[in-house]
Structure 1
Amino acid sequence: MSQTRVINGPHIRTERTTRNVMMNVSISLVPALLGAIYFFGIRALYLAGLSITVCVLTEFFWQKLTKKQVTAGDFSAVVTGLLLVLNMPVTVPVWTLVAADVFSILVVKQMFGGIGNNFVNPALMGRLLTMVAWPGAVMQYVAPRTLETDAVSAATVLGAVKTGGEQSYSYLQMFLGETPGAMGETSKLLLLVGFAYMCYKGIVNAEACLTYIGTVVVLTFIFGPEGLFTGDILLNLFGGGLIMGGCYMLSDYAFVSRRGKLLYAVTAGIITAAIRIFSVYPEGICFGILTANCMAGMLSFVYQKHVYGISEKRGLNWRKNR
């Protein structure tokens, strides 16, 4: 009787799990959440709690209904709920937020196989749904209460400048968060604090994030319309949600190689900058990153790591014949 010899491979063992990574991402978003409560009031906390609860329960009941492994406790739904609510204005109707939560978890995430199988960022897709279906409900911003002004609708800094208005806020106000905008994206300082925590924990690719942000800033600086973005790097950097998009929404886990991640980041940056410059939208982060998400497969084919044991020439011919 022949015997089969099984040899254990040189597996890499690590304490990093999905739950550990997502829990740390959730922790990194706490400063932005506290800033949202400080700038926009206790309603920000109420909306955040609601968003997280809806996302976790949606995932739990769907997995129970379909008799799949319940992963609602791995903090991935918590991250989706936090990112989604922090990308909303404090005036967002409750039903709009709930609809976006259910859509993000149920349609974008679970119906494509759950975490690791969704082809786009669920929170960004939920945000896009609200922008298309209920733009009036999610694109009306108010000034932070710290400015001692009435809670009237106001455009974001980029929105005001793009429509021909004046830049009425200083760079310091933009950096600290004393400007109208989504609850979690106004304070760049607090976002960078959370980003630094993720870098310390080693759960984010800082090079790809900075490449994305740098691509957008450089392209808008060079090609931006006269008197709008041209020559004003800080306006592009602090006037919108670029830092939040680059630090938290740019999911690059689909790529293993360094060059693949950078190619993905540059692609998202080019699309974001093009929308900022040529479209009617003052932003472009949502469209840029989601489009790059959809192009991840093609980008992976364009750049593939060399397979050890196969010559470079043979590998190139194999790629052409596919």
Structure 2
Amino acid sequence: MTEEQGRKGPFLRGENTTRRIMGDVALALMPALTGSVYFFGIRSLLLVVTSVITCVLSELVWEWLTGKQITAFDFSAVVTGILIAFQVPVTTPVILIIISGIFAIIVVKQLFGGIGSNFMNPALAGRLLLMVVWPGKIIQYVPAAGTDAVSSATVLAAMKAGEQGNYSWLDMFLGYVPGALGETSKLLLLVGAGYLCYRGLINVKASLAYILTVLVVTFVLGGGHLFGGDPVTNLLGGSLILGACYMLTDYSFISARGRLIYSVAAGIITGLVRIYSSYPEGVCFGILAANCMVGLLARFEQKHVYGTKYDKDQKTAM
């Protein structure tokens, strides 16, 4: 097949565009955003708006300076901004949100070619930067509105310290617990995820594989002895659902088997970090580590290119 023939097709075209897909994701995050304002006050909205503006402006300025096609208004930067803010507590200084947004868009996304070319999730990478450089600034959690709790430790942090939590499973499901802005209410996250399922934008198998892997690992190895972990608290007490539904399935270009391996690997790392590291939460580390595996998985899971011959021995398109 000549290069000219390759450019002409055949191609499969659909109605979905980046703008439409990212617009749907942003819309799906609105219930959790509304919940964050209810649980943590108007400052949560300030952080989200600041993060979104930072990400959009960073992308716009970079593309203008480098002469690239302007994609800053396709909602991908908006989604990145929302997800960055969703991963930090309401006490986070605004300047750190700005730094995280600039790093996520310019360093992680644009320097690697823009949307679809970045090798890891920009929002998670922005969160990782804050964890590494300013850890003390992003662990100052406060109780959610409507609770009588005085302690500001998250559910997972309290469990890791061997303390008896004051929160019921219903509290954790509804969001009446200390935590990052967008992770506390599993109900509102699932409402948004349900909309994305309706729109066909979530890989349900990958998300479920990731969640189940984390629960199995933490149940088998957690709790100080075999099969002594608490799977319900591990499901409802942290950012597992946020990560599984909104950040895990960015990389859809690998095969179904590759996505399963990717999800299980992310789940294993997440669970091990929760159990054996000094961090109570491992979603960020698990998904970012799996992101770095995508190139290898894509290499071994290459699909046959339509219109070419296939060499079974060399497993390459001729």
Q: Secondary structure at the match of 2:115?
A: coil
Distance 1:229 1:146 in 2: 34
Asked if residue 19 in structure 1 is aligned to residue 15 in structure 2, the reply is: no
Structure 1 unpaired stretches of 5+: none
> What is residue 102 of structure 2 aligned with on the other side?
102
Q: CA deviation at 1:149?
A: 5.5
One-letter amino acid matched to 1:118: N
Q: CA deviation at 1:252?
A: 4.1
> What is residue 157 of structure 1 aligned with on the other side?
155
> What is residue 75 of structure 1 aligned with on the other side?
75
Please report the RMSD computed on the Cα atoms of aligned residues, expressed in angstroms.
2.3
Aligned pairs (5 A) from 1:1-322 = 9-148=9-148, 154-226=152-224, 230-305=228-303, 314-315=311-312, 317-319=313-315
Q: CA deviation at 1:274?
A: 1.3
Q: Secondary structure at the match of 1:147?
A: coil
Structure 2 unpaired stretches of 5+: none
Asked if structure 1 preserves the Cα contact closer than 8 Å seen for 2:251 and 2:294, the reply is: no
Distance 2:239 2:24 in 1: 21
One-letter amino acid matched to 2:203: N
Q: 1:102 to 1:229 in 2, by over 3 A?
A: farther
Q: CA deviation at 1:148?
A: 4.7
The range that moved more, 222-231 or 171-180, is 222-231
Q: Secondary structure at the match of 1:145?
A: coil
Asked if structure 2 preserves the Cα contact closer than 8 Å seen for 1:223 and 1:230, the reply is: yes
> Could you report, residue by residue, the CA deviation over 1:29-67 in whole angstroms, capped at 9, with x for unpaired residues?
000000000000011111111111111011101111111
Asked if structure 1 preserves the Cα contact closer than 8 Å seen for 2:222 and 2:230, the reply is: no
Q: Secondary structure at the match of 1:318?
A: coil
The range that moved more, 299-308 or 282-291, is 299-308
Q: Secondary structure at the match of 2:120?
A: coil
Q: CA deviation at 1:5?
A: 10
TM-score, normalised on structure 1? 0.91
Q: CA deviation at 1:306?
A: 5.2
Q: 1:280 to 1:51 in 2, by over 3 A?
A: same
> Could you report, residue by residue, the CA deviation over 1:170-221 in whole angstroms, capped at 9, with x for unpaired residues?
0000000000000100000000000000010011111101110111001111
Q: Secondary structure at the match of 2:146?
A: helix
Q: CA deviation at 1:22?
A: 0.3
Asked if structure 1 preserves the Cα contact closer than 8 Å seen for 2:100 and 2:130, the reply is: yes
Q: Secondary structure at the match of 1:141?
A: coil
Distance 2:272 2:5 in 1: 57
Q: CA deviation at 1:15?
A: 1.0
Asked if structure 2 preserves the Cα contact closer than 8 Å seen for 1:276 and 1:284, the reply is: yes
Asked if structure 2 preserves the Cα contact closer than 8 Å seen for 1:84 and 1:127, the reply is: yes
**Equivalences, count:** 312
Distance 2:5 2:67 in 1: 37
Distance 1:259 1:114 in 2: 26
Distance 1:149 1:126 in 2: 30
> Could you report, residue by residue, the CA deviation over 1:207-244 in whole angstroms, capped at 9, with x for unpaired residues?
10111011100111112133798242211100111111
Distance 1:128 1:10 in 2: 41
Tell me the percent identity.
55
> Could you report, residue by residue, the CA deviation over 1:5-43 in whole angstroms, capped at 9, with x for unpaired residues?
999755323110000000000000000000000000011
4+ residue runs over 6 A deviation: 4-8
Asked if structure 2 preserves the Cα contact closer than 8 Å seen for 1:162 and 1:228, the reply is: no
